[in-house]
Every structure is written in structure tokens, then in C-alpha cells.
Amino acid sequence: MVANKNQVKQTIQVDIIPLTMSTIDGNDSQPFEVKVTPANVNVESYNWMWKAPQKSGNSPQVHFATPNKQDTLIKKAHWFAYPDSRLQKITGWDCEYTIDCEVTIDGIKYRTSTPATFHVYLPDPPAVTSWPRIEGFPTIATRQEDDFTEWYVSSLGTLKRRSPQVTSYIPITSQFYDKVVTVHEGHHVIQHTTGVQTLTSHTLWDATQLFHNTLKSLKSTVSEADLKRQINNAIATQNALDNNLAQMESRAREKEAFSKSNQVPPHYLEFNVL
């Protein structure tokens, strides 16, 4: 606004605090605040604004909780693609908005000399699926053999195959939650649980097989601790062996999981696994 002859533009400084902020896609931001100097001026209005680079993909958008107050925050942060590409290797995991605020004092509009920067990102990786493993412990019993006490493995006990576990680093409100967590990581769970025709990881980490093939034949006439050491070594060896076999199929599992998740919108942060 241009001052008329009865208006004199004062020396006003407008600052946004904090000057930079980062938030995961789908989360609300922490509050932004406008500080006007000198503090004794009468601010008639506040108007929060934002800007993203031109030709950005995935529809940049900012929703201020209170767009016309001194304090505000951004609701459900939205990641956009710059440059506009569906591939993560081109866009990276983060994007950057410019946040500004226009204040009106005595009918004259003032803006910040240095707008704030608002980063929206997804963690790398946004979610992971832990592999199954053999855990727990078989039951140990004792018996007398030729005047010696013998410790032996009597039953399966708590030994079991732990199911694959999905850990998400993005909130359920993220636009990528269904694509990444439900579909992509969910398919890894299927691969490790019921399996698919071309992969074998669902047959690994078989606690029952380990028990019958190895553990139930273990025994010690030295001590219970000696038998426990043998059992722990056998479980660790089997887990390591199965981990190595599963690692050989990692690329095939990722290719198959991306073939599922790449079909789910939004079509950004995608990978081509050849």
C-alpha cells in the first residue's frame, strides 16, 4: 500500500520466529510467530502467506491454522516435488516453502525483510520391515545317566519364529502412509510370512525345524549353563544363516514390493528397481 499525504511510513521491522522449521509430511508444524518492532505500535491485521517454487509437482499447499493472527501453525504439512519428477533420486526426500506475513499498521502494509523457511520431509526410509527371526528358548530338563546328571532339551518351550514387524517413521496422516506402510511394507510382511511363488524367505527362520533337527539332540553333563550356551550358539548360527539367505533375495523382494506400491498415488518418491 502506498502512503497518502497524511501517512508517513514508520521504521517498522517485521520478523518471523523461528526463521526455519522442519516437519514430517502429514504432521502439524510448531507455531510461527510474528514479532513487530517497535513493540508499542498498533497492528491492525496479520496476513500469513506462503510460496513454493514454480512448476513444483504434487500440488504444493499450506494450510495456516490461524491465517490472520500473530501466532499460527501449519496444519498437516504437505510434501511437494521439486523438480517435478516421480522418482525420489531426482526430487530428494524434502521440499522447502517460503513463509511470510504481512502486517498492517496505520493503514500501511509491512512484510518481513527475511521470510521464514518451512521444510517438509519424509525420513529415509519412511518405514521398515524387520525380518523374522528365531527367538525364545526351549525347555531344559535333567535326568540321571550312569550316576551323572545330564541336562537335555525336553521340549520346544517358548522357541518360536518371530513375525516380521513394520515400523513406520511417518504419521498415519501422511499422504504417503498407504503407499509406503500399508502397501509396500505390507507386501514385505506377506513375502516373509506366507510367501510368493518366486521367493523363499517365508520358509526361513523355522523354529520347529531347528528344534527337531538340532536342539533336541543337545545335552550336557557339565552344567545347565553349558547346555544353554550350546542352545544359544545353535539359534544364533541358524539366524545368521537364514539372514544371509534372505539377503540374497533382498533386491527381488524390493522389486516386487515397488511393483505394488508404485501403483498407489501419490506418484512421487518412487523407485525403479531393475
User: What pLDDT score does 68 carry?
Assistant: 98
Interacting residues of 19 by C-beta distance below 8 A, sequence separation 6+: 114, 116, 117
Domain end residue (candidates: 121, 144, 163)? 121
CB 228 within 8 A of CB 138: no
Distance CA 126, CA 147 (A): 60
115 and 205 share a domain? no
136 and 232 share a domain? yes
- Whether residue 269 is contained in a domain is answered as no
- Whether residue 274 is contained in a domain is answered as no
CB atoms within 10 A of CB 52: 19
User: What pLDDT score does 1 carry?
Assistant: 35
SS3 38: coil
CB 69 within 8 A of CB 47: no
109 and 163 share a domain? no
| Residue 216 φ/ψ, nearest 5 degrees | -70, -10
Q: Domain range holding 37? A: 13-121
Distance CA 136, CA 162 (A): 9
User: What pLDDT score does 210 carry?
Assistant: 98
Distance CA 211, CA 213 (A): 6
What confidence tens digit (pLDDT) does each residue in 95-137 have?
999 999 999 999 999 999 899 999 999 999 999 999 999 999 9
- Whether residue 4 is contained in a domain is answered as no
Q: Which of 158, 148, 49, 174 is nearest to 102 (CA)?
A: 49
User: What pLDDT score does 273 carry?
Assistant: 79
| Structural domains counted in the chain | 2
CB atoms within 10 A of CB 48: 22
Query: Domain with 75 in it: what CATH number?
Result: 2.60.40.10
- Whether residue 114 is contained in a domain is answered as yes
Model confidence, pTM: 0.89
72 and 146 share a domain? no
- Whether residue 65 is contained in a domain is answered as yes
Domain end residue (candidates: 121, 141, 175)? 121
116 and 162 share a domain? no
What confidence tens digit (pLDDT) does each residue in 42-57 have?
999 999 999 999 999 9
What are the C-alpha distances in Å from 35 to residues 39, 101, 157, 201, 261?
A: 8, 10, 65, 58, 45
Residues, the chain, total? 274
Distance CA 186, CA 181 (A): 6
- Whether residue 26 is contained in a domain is answered as yes
155 and 237 share a domain? yes
pLDDT averaged over 10-residue windows placed end to end, the chain, 274 residues: 47 95 98 95 97 98 98 98 98 98 96 96 98 98 91 97 97 98 98 88 96 97 97 98 96 95 97 84
* Residue whose cell numbers read 516373509: 192
User: What pLDDT score does 159 carry?
Assistant: 98
Q: How many CA atoms lie within 13 A of 206 on its CB side?
A: 12
Q: How far is CA 190 from the centre of its chain?
A: 20
Dump the DSSP string for 173-208.
TSTTHIIIIIIIIHHHHHHHHT--TT--GGGSS-HH
CB atoms within 10 A of CB 80: 21
Domain end residue (candidates: 66, 93, 121)? 121
User: What pLDDT score does 128 carry?
Assistant: 98
117 and 243 share a domain? no
